[in-house]
Amino acid sequence: MKYLMDTHIFLWWILENPKLKERVKAIIRNKHNILYLSAVSTWEMLIKSGAGKLSLPDSPETFIRKQLLLNDINILDITLQHTFALAELPLIHKDPFDRILIAQAKCENCTFITNDTLIKSYDVNVAD
């Protein structure tokens, strides 16, 4: 099965945050699942790191590249199809990062792994 990880889920997994639920850990550990992190999540982490709102054990680029490789997580690039899909999303969630993640999950038929309850208001498969 294909899963798109929300930015906070990626960070919680890597940094072993106790907020990460056991059922989500099981999804991530399952080698039969295909895991994705969106390029928008890397952008979000770089912005937050630069603004002092996110502390990482290494530079964002080094940290992200290393963790993608170590955890067998694929990058999902943003395509024109993903951006056009934004027009079909109701304005429930105002965060542009979350909106493109929702659009990507829908377009790519991925289950979206998130702890954001507002995202459940969308017509997208969510694992929480």
* 71-80 pLDDT, tens digit each: 999 999 999 9
Contacts of 72 (CB under 8 A, 6+ apart): 31, 35
Q: What is the pTM of this model?
A: 0.94
Q: What radius of gyration, in Å, describes the C-alpha atoms of the chain?
A: 14
pLDDT digits (tens, 9 = 90+) for 106-123: 999 999 999 999 998 898
Residue 23 near residue 113, CB atoms below 8 Å = no
- Residue entry with tokens 């999540």: 41
Give the closest residue to 107 by CA, choosing from 128, 91, 127, 123.
123
Contacts of 77 (CB under 8 A, 6+ apart): 39
**Per-domain boundaries in the chain:** 2-127
CATH 3.40.50.1010 fits 2-127, yes or no: yes
Model pLDDT, residue 76: 98
- Token pair of 111 as six digits: 């289950």
